[in-house]
Amino acid sequence: GHICVEMDPLWLPRDWKRIGGIDFGFKDPTAFLWGAVAPNKDVFFYDEYYQPGLTSEIHAREIQYRSSQNGTLRFDDILREPKGQSLQIARDFALIYGIFSRACPNADRMSSRLHLAAYLDKRFDTKQPSLRIVKSRCPNLVKEMIGLHYKDQDEQHREGAVERWRGEDHLVDAARYALSCRPTPK
């Protein structure tokens, strides 16, 4: 199956549910993903925002602008990290800029990355993965997913083991937040 696809986000039907995932940062990038959920429950990540070192106001304005450019009229759900500085930034985004998000109900890295990985597996019925990424609009997500792996010298990993990942994971985190309330693909 093909995870990376080439398409114009404006081709996605407007009646598909729109989801987002956000991973706030300052030194590290603030990462935002736009997603659309097809009637068969497949998810298309069709745009990304990825910028470090800017204020919340600049991030919010850019997310609003990019939403208007990629055809996103509304979001049905935006999920984020449930703790830390993200909570205050999310409140600012909501009160000042009208970008509402809610805490990811399952932010445990190991289980939520396994949930994300299930979207990458080929479905039995279609022989295609349940996740598609518009490669030209999400280059950093593609790069992170290719480069994220366990450190070579680590012992065998089991669920619940201490996580030791190598690589940038800001958009991967945004993806796992966005998918956290979606059902696991069949």
Q: pLDDT tens-digit profile of 129-138? A: 999 999 999 9
pLDDT band at 43 (very low <50, low <70, confident <90, very high): very high
Q: Angle CA(184)–CA(44)–CA(111) in degrees, nearest 5?
A: 30
How far apart CA 104 and CA 4 sit, in angstroms, is 25
Specify whether the CB–CB gap between 180 and 79 falls below 8 A: yes
Which residues have C-beta within 8 Å of that of residue 138, sequence separation ≥ 6? 33, 45, 46, 47, 48, 171
Q: Give the three-state DSSP class for 30.
A: strand
Q: What number of other Cβ atoms are within 10 A of residue 4's Cβ?
A: 13
What is the average pLDDT score of the chain? 86
Rounded to whole angstroms, how far apart are CA atoms 139 and 1? 19
Distance CA 180, CA 111 (A): 10
- Per-residue pLDDT at 35 exceeds 70: yes
Nearest-10 Cα torsion for 128, 181, 141, 88: 170
pLDDT of residue 34: 97
Q: Pick the closest to residue 67 from 56, 53, 78, 54 (CA basis).
A: 78
Percent pLDDT > 90 in the chain is: 46
pLDDT band at 106 (very low <50, low <70, confident <90, very high): confident
pTM: 0.87
Residue 173 three-state SS: helix
Which tops the pLDDT comparison, 19 or 104?
19
CA-wise closest residue to 115 among 179, 159, 158: 179
pLDDT given for residue 159 in this prediction: 45
- pLDDT tens digits, 161-179: 445 555 688 999 999 999 9
With bands split at pLDDT 50, 70 and 90, how would you rate the model's confidence at 57? Answer: confident
At residue 165, the pLDDT reads: 55
pLDDT score for 174:
94
Q: Could you list the beta-strand ranges (E) of the chain.
A: 4-5, 17-23, 30-37, 43-51, 77-80, 102-103, 131-134, 149-150, 165-166
Mean pLDDT of 18-34: 92
